[in-house]
Amino acid sequence: MAATIRINEYNGAGEVETVNIGDTDMGSVDQANLDPIANPIVPGDNSFEKWQKLEVVAMGGSSKIHNLKVWRTGALGGSAAHKTNAREASYGGAETYAEPTDDPSTVATQNIPTSEPSGANLGIGGSLAGELTAVGYSDYLVHQIQTDAGDVAGSTSTLNCQYDEVA
């Protein structure tokens, strides 16, 4: 290992941090590591937004972390959409935390790419060209699944993420 990185999730009005989440299952409750079977998204509804960050816990001798990318794979099914604030063009900068909602997100407004983006689509310090040279955090990754009443249950949208590290 070089740098030590983890993904954290933030929930509730109080921005309660859950570090090193095991998964990013989406559902009908604002909760980290939620059980999607116990908390399914009813067709026509939205999932609660996810507010997550990459955290550099230790640099381990490396000089910088940068070029953050997120994308999704899997078949969403029906006309469901997986929306995010992550984007390569017109990036909105670092979002200020707001309690996750299951109303249509005003932050996650663009479809997550379905393959690896060509460049960074999640920023550091409000910029896609940003970099971490010491312990710290990325910008918030905000995402939400929005479904249609005709969508079928059991479809999947799985999230991938990536960063580059210069040692």
Partner 1 sequence: MQKTDFIFKRPETGKTEIAKRERWRWVAHYKNGTKLHQFDDEAGIFHQFREIDQSKIESFQMVSDQNPEGINLLIPPNGADLIHFYRNVRLAGRKDWIKLYFFGWKIKNQRGRSIQKLICIYPNDKIALVDELEGGGAK
CA distance 54 to 164: 13
CA distance 53 to 84: 13
CA distance 71 to 132: 21
Tell me: does residue 5 bind partner 1 (CB under 8 A). Answer: yes
> Do the Cβ atoms of 153 and 37 come closer than 8 Å?
no
Tell me: does residue 14 bind partner 1 (CB under 8 A). Answer: no
Tell me: does residue 117 bind partner 1 (CB under 8 A). Answer: yes
Tell me: does residue 19 bind partner 1 (CB under 8 A). Answer: no
CA 160 to chain centre: 9
CA distance 100 to 51: 7
User: Is the CB of 45 or the CB of 165 nearer to partner 1?
Assistant: 165
What sign does the dihedral 116-117-120-121 (CA atoms) show? negative
User: Is the CB of 103 or the CB of 164 nearer to partner 1?
Assistant: 164
Spatial CA neighbour of 23 closest among 164, 162, 161: 161
Contacting partner 1 within 140-159 (CB under 8 A): 158-159
Q: CB under 8 A: which stretch of 8-16, 39-47, 92-100, 112-120 binds partner 1?
A: 112-120
User: Is the CB of 66 or the CB of 83 nearer to partner 1?
Assistant: 66
Q: Among 73, 101, 110, 111, indicate the residue that binds partner 1 (CB under 8 A).
A: 73
User: Is the CB of 42 or the CB of 57 nearer to partner 1?
Assistant: 57
Q: Among 11, 47, 52, 67, indicate the residue that binds partner 1 (CB under 8 A).
A: 67
User: Is the CB of 10 or the CB of 163 nearer to partner 1?
Assistant: 163
Contacting partner 1 within 27-56 (CB under 8 A): none
CA distance 6 to 139: 14
